[in-house]
């Protein structure tokens, strides 16, 4: 495998310093953590059996991953179709694991974003799919990710993807397209396969199955939103990080059918209070907020999280099936559809949150603020005032990945539900 | 009708007995590590204080330890209880500031004392009773002692750290620099007031605040808050029992 030189636009390969001590037994510890989080959600009557396949995909990703060299990705900006057209299999490595996070502490300061720390720790600690990847694609979305690329370069080849500073496609699309062109070329250097027109088309068609299946699930949920909880939906999304797209789409189609059936035959509602979730990603297995919300009698019905709905919702829309036409469609899908505060202004984000709250008749909005993920935290202060003017109750939860503040979170969420009930927003 | 409310806080457990809407008995104990036992003991002493024999009144448990300490009855959060209690003792207040041991809350009330919004400190201790306790010990005194010190200050030193641990080091270095304890104490109250003001800004300014919780016993803290908010506050007769009172009111509505 070729290492790129210092001046080709990626992080310099001139120095290498890959020294990290991986404590013995971390893989087992990680497995235990994931299993215990899964158990903490317990079982409930009427839970669709189809969810079990997604749990397996999350717990044993290597059994469900596609064939071919693996390329690790981060964030929601990397067009998986381009990775596949280059003959590689994309696996998204973002994680909320506190086991991974503790490994990162050897290198990264404690005052770095918890997701950056955990994701870095998973790569250097060889957790999950990370030890099998031939290269990483790392969008420099935030400051932490920018530096992470340099550090990870010591362990595995990294293709750095620059993100435009704002999400205006009229001025920024040209630059983003050139970055994606460079990505295609870099991937070809690694895999020896150029993403040609035919390969891009095949990849787009394959991935379309994922988007179609997810849309189908969304339609089914709209008619009976109570059949799946917020954590169920998050499990479906988390499974898509690694699983082969066709196997995932097949499981998702079956789940959608099951949701429809349960909606037709079962009770109209289970009484859970519907909430919209926004803010920083709730990455598996750091799901305490989902758990608390469900334990106190509410459920997330819609979200703007890059770890959940935002990852799967938008289809790639190709008008022109030339290679450049497809690259343009991909550029727009992974650019305009994003709500990441690293380049989307907070008004556009607020618009979407309000739209979701109305569409899903949510009783309120909860913002997940991950400490040190400053863009979301800063945005949340403004969102609170915007939503108040719109008459939508809002709760911000400031937290980190670990379980230490579950009781503090419970008080806040419980008080929030007491408040919306008292205001008569739920029946 | 006679009901009871028990507020199991992180530092103190408070119990009240309410007879036809009037406070008939009360008790306060340190919570410690056995919230269930302490809640029961506080309930029994409040019964005695109300002149009642041991019996099982309709009761609601609230506060940080509500789930562990609940006696088979209902629980509500301390936010709802504080709102109910404050509305009962200060019906004209449309805002509540509750400064407790581990949490500080600002609650906005709508018509009939309905909670319309609330904000709490994030999980760090800045601006809470714990913060006051730590700073007091750094200055070799307690809440009342800090108040006396602050009363004698001509100027307040600015405390920049919002983290309790860092603020303690800051206090230690201020002492080392020869800044008077009075000025430091005044600075600490101003620092807490500024944290509370930030929470108040989140939920929107109220016309009149009721100040409750253990912190409300401190005249110095009240003055610092009034200065920071630019408003007079109402401090009820027994500010520490307002949350327990709210829980007893919830019990009487059941």
Chain A contact for B32 (CB, 8 A cutoff): no
State the best of B107, B110, B115 to mutate against chain A, taking most chain A CBs within 10 Å.
B115
In this complex, do A419 and B123 lie within 8 Å of one another by their Cβ atoms? Answer: no
Q: Which CATH architecture describes the domain B92-235?
A: 2-Layer Sandwich (3.30)
Instruction: Find out whether A50 and A248 touch, Cβ atoms under 8 Å.
Output: no
pLDDT of A49 strictly over 90? yes
Is B1-90+238-254's fold the same as B92-235's? yes
Q: Check residue A8 and give its pLDDT.
A: 45
In this complex, do B79 and A388 lie within 8 Å of one another by their Cβ atoms? Answer: no
Question: Which of B 157-196 lie inside 8 A of A, CB atoms?
Answer: none
Mean pLDDT for A37-41 is 94
Indicate the SS3 state at residue B60.
Answer: strand
Of B77, B103, B116, the CB nearest to A414: B77
CA A247 remoteness from chain centre: 19
In this complex, do A411 and B202 lie within 8 Å of one another by their Cβ atoms? Answer: no
- Give yes or no for a cis peptide into B239 (omega within 30° of 0): no
Tokens of A48: 């669709």
**DSSP character for A61?**
G
E strand or H helix that includes residue B22: strand B22-30
Q: Check residue A292 and give its pLDDT.
A: 97
In this complex, do B80 and A422 lie within 8 Å of one another by their Cβ atoms? Answer: yes
State the best of B79, B126, B243 to mutate against chain A, taking most chain A CBs within 10 Å.
B79
Residues of A within an 8 Å Cβ radius of B: 371, 381, 384, 388, 393-394, 398-399, 404-405, 407-408, 411-412, 414-415, 418-419, 422-423
d(C-alpha A208, C-alpha A315), whole Å: 7
d(C-alpha A72, C-alpha A50), whole Å: 27
What radius of gyration do chain A's Cα atoms show? 21
Tokens of A375: 């863009």
pLDDT of A419 strictly over 50? yes
* Residues lower than pLDDT 50 in chain B: none
Determine phi and psi for A107, rounding to 5 degrees.
Answer: -115, -50
Beta strand B104-109 with B233-234 is unpaired
d(C-alpha A305, C-alpha A57), whole Å: 20
State the best of A415, A416, A423 to mutate against chain B, taking most chain B CBs within 10 Å.
A415
Mean pLDDT for A46-50 is 91
Which residues lie across from B6 on neighbouring strands?
B15, B61
Determine phi and psi for B104, rounding to 5 degrees.
Answer: -120, 130
In this complex, do A405 and B123 lie within 8 Å of one another by their Cβ atoms? Answer: yes
Mean pLDDT for A240-254 is 97
In this complex, do A399 and B123 lie within 8 Å of one another by their Cβ atoms? Answer: yes
Q: Which residues contact A418 (CB under 8 A, 6 or more apart)?
A: B76, B77, B79, B80, B115
Could you give the maximum distance between any two Cα atoms of chain A, in Å? 64
Of B77, B117, B202, the CB nearest to A411: B77
In this complex, do B114 and A423 lie within 8 Å of one another by their Cβ atoms? Answer: yes
Q: Check residue A6 and give its pLDDT.
A: 38
Q: Which CATH architecture describes the domain A49-422?
A: 3-Layer(aba) Sandwich (3.40)
Percent of chain A predicted with pLDDT > 70: 96
Q: How confident is the prediction for chain A on average, in pLDDT?
A: 92
Shortest Cα–Cα distance, A62 to chain B (Å):
37
Which residues lie across from A277 on neighbouring strands?
A303, A366
In this complex, do B123 and A408 lie within 8 Å of one another by their Cβ atoms? Answer: yes
Q: Check residue A42 and give its pLDDT.
A: 80
Residue of A nearest to B65 (CA): A407
d(C-alpha A104, C-alpha A95), whole Å: 12
In this complex, do B80 and A405 lie within 8 Å of one another by their Cβ atoms? Answer: no
Instruction: Find out whether B130 and B164 touch, Cβ atoms under 8 Å.
Output: yes
The model's pLDDT over A168-183, given as tens digits with 9 standing for 90+, comes to 888 999 999 999 999 9
pLDDT of A218 strictly over 60? yes
Q: Check residue B22 and give its pLDDT.
A: 92
d(C-alpha B99, C-alpha B97), whole Å: 6
In this complex, do B115 and A399 lie within 8 Å of one another by their Cβ atoms? Answer: no
The model's pLDDT over A349-368, given as tens digits with 9 standing for 90+, comes to 999 999 999 999 999 999 99
Of B118, B202, B204, the CB nearest to A419: B118
Tokens of B82: 């504080």
Q: For the residues of B40-65, what is the DSSP string, one character each?
A: HHHHHHHHHHTT--S----EEEESTT
In this complex, do B120 and A412 lie within 8 Å of one another by their Cβ atoms? Answer: yes
| Residue A7's pLDDT band (cuts 50, 70, 90) | very low
Instruction: Find out whether B151 and B220 touch, Cβ atoms under 8 Å.
Output: yes
In this complex, do A411 and B123 lie within 8 Å of one another by their Cβ atoms? Answer: no
Could you give the maximum distance between any two Cα atoms of chain B, in Å? 59
Residue of A nearest to B105 (CA): A412
Beta strand B115-120 with B59-62 is unpaired
Indicate if the alpha-carbon torsion angle A46, A49, A53, A56 is positive or negative: positive
Chain A contact for B204 (CB, 8 A cutoff): yes
**DSSP character for B45?**
H
Indicate the SS3 state at residue A149.
Answer: helix
Q: For the residues of B129-147, what is the DSSP string, one character each?
A: HHHHHHHHHHTT--HHHHH
Q: Check residue A5 and give its pLDDT.
A: 43
* A389: chain B residues, CB-CB within 8 Å: none
Secondary-structure class of domain B1-90+238-254 per CATH: alpha beta
d(C-alpha A90, C-alpha A242), whole Å: 7
pLDDT of A426 strictly over 60? no
In this complex, do B103 and A408 lie within 8 Å of one another by their Cβ atoms? Answer: yes
CA A257 remoteness from chain centre: 24
Shortest Cα–Cα distance, B154 to chain A (Å):
36
d(C-alpha A332, C-alpha A318), whole Å: 10
Domain boundaries, chain B: 1-90+238-254, 92-235
This model's pTM is above 0.90: yes
Residue of B nearest to A422 (CA): B114
* B122: chain A residues, CB-CB within 8 Å: 371, 398-399
d(C-alpha B244, C-alpha B56), whole Å: 17
Q: Check residue A374 and give its pLDDT.
A: 87
A-B CB pairs within 8 A amount to 48
What is the dihedral angle through the alpha carbons of A213, A218, A220, A221, rounded to the nearest 10 degrees?
140
d(C-alpha A229, C-alpha A302), whole Å: 10
Shortest Cα–Cα distance, B79 to chain A (Å):
6
Most confident stretch, A135-149, A213-227, A276-290, B122-136: A276-290
d(C-alpha A26, C-alpha A32), whole Å: 10
Determine phi and psi for B220, rounding to 5 degrees.
Answer: -65, -40
d(C-alpha B254, C-alpha B248), whole Å: 10
In this complex, do B118 and A415 lie within 8 Å of one another by their Cβ atoms? Answer: yes
Chain A contact for B77 (CB, 8 A cutoff): yes
In this complex, do A408 and B115 lie within 8 Å of one another by their Cβ atoms? Answer: no
In this complex, do A419 and B78 lie within 8 Å of one another by their Cβ atoms? Answer: no
In this complex, do B117 and A398 lie within 8 Å of one another by their Cβ atoms? Answer: no
State the best of A414, A416, A421, A423 to mutate against chain B, taking most chain B CBs within 10 Å.
A414
Instruction: Find out whether A291 and A38 touch, Cβ atoms under 8 Å.
Output: no
């Amino acid at each position: 495998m070729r290492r790129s030189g210092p001046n080709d636009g990626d992080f310099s390969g001139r120095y290498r310093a890959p020294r990290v001590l991986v404590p013995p037994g971390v893989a087992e510890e990680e497995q235990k953590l994931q299993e215990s989080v899964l158990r903490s959600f317990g079982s409930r009557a009427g839970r669709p059996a189809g969810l079990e396949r997604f749990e397996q995909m999350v717990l044993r990703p290597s059994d469900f991953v596609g064939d071919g060299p693996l390329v690790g990705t981060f964030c929601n900006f990397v067009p998986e179709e381009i990775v596949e057209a280059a003959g590689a299999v994309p696996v998204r490595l973002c994680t909320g694991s506190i086991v991974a996070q503790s490994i990162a502490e050897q290198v990264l300061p404690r005052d770095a974003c918890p997701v950056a720390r955990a994701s870095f720790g998973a790569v250097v600690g060889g957790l999950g799919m990370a030890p099998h990847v031939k290269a990483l694609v790392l969008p420099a979305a935030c400051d932490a990710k920018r530096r992470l690329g340099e550090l990870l370069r010591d362990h595995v080849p990294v293709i750095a993807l620059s993100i435009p500073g704002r999400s205006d496609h009229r001025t920024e699309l040209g630059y983003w397209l050139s970055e994606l062109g460079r990505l295609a070329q870099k991937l070809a250097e690694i895999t020896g396969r150029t993403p040609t027109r035919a390969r891009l088309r095949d990849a787009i068609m394959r991935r379309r199955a994922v988007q179609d299946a997810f849309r189908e699930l969304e339609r089914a949920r709209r008619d009976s939103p109570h059949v799946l909880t917020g954590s169920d939906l998050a499990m479906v999304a988390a499974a898509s990080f690694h699983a082969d797209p066709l196997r995932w789409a097949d499981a998702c189609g079956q789940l959608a059918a099951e949701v429809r059936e349960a909606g037709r035959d079962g009770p109209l509602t289970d009484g859970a209070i519907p909430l919209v979730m926004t803010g920083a990603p709730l990455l598996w297995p750091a799901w305490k907020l989902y758990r608390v919300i469900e334990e106190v009698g509410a459920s997330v019905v819609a979200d703007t999280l890059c770890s959940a709905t935002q990852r799967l919702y938008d289809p790639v829309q190709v008008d022109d099936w030339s290679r450049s036409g497809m690259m343009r469609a991909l550029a727009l899908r992974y650019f305009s559809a994003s709500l990441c505060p690293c380049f989307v202004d907070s008004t556009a984000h607020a618009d979407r949150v309000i739209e979701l709250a109305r569409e899903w008749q949510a009783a309120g909005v909860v913002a997940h603020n991950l400490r040190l993920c400053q863009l979301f935290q800063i945005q949340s202060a403004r969102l609170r005032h915007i939503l108040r003017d719109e008459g939508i109750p809002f709760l911000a939860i400031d937290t980190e990945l670990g379980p230490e503040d579950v009781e503090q979170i419970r008080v806040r969420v419980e008080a929030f539900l007491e408040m919306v009930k008292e205001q008569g927003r739920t029946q | 009708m006679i009901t009871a409310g028990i507020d199991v806080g992180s530092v103190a457990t408070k119990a009240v007995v309410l007879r036809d809407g009037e406070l008939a008995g009360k008790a306060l104990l340190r919570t410690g590590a056995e919230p269930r036992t302490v809640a029961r003991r506080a309930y029994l002493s409040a019964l005695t204080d109300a002149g009642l024999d041991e019996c099982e009144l309709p009761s609601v448990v609230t506060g940080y330890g509500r789930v562990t300490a609940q006696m088979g009855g209902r629980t509500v959060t301390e936010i709802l209880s504080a709102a109910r209690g404050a509305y009962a003792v200060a019906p004209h207040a449309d805002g509540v500031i509750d400064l407790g041991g581990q949490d500080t809350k600002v609650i906005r009330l709508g018509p009939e004392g309905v909670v319309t919004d609330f904000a709490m400190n994030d999980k760090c201790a800045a601006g809470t009773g714990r913060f006051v306790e730590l700073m007091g010990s750094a200055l070799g005194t307690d809440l009342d002692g800090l108040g006396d010190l602050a009363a004698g200050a001509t100027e307040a030193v600015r405390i920049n750290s919002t983290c309790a641990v860092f603020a303690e080091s800051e206090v230690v270095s201020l002492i080392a620099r020869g800044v008077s304890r009075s000025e430091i104490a005044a600075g600490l109250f101003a620092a807490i007031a500024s944290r509370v003001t930030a929470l108040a800004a989140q939920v929107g300014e109220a016309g009149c605040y009721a100040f409750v919780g253990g912190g409300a016993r401190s005249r110095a803290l009240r003055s610092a808050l009034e200065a920071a908010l630019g408003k007079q506050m109402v401090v009820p007769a027994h500010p520490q029992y307002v949350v327990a009172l709210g829980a007893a009111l919830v019990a009487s509505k059941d």
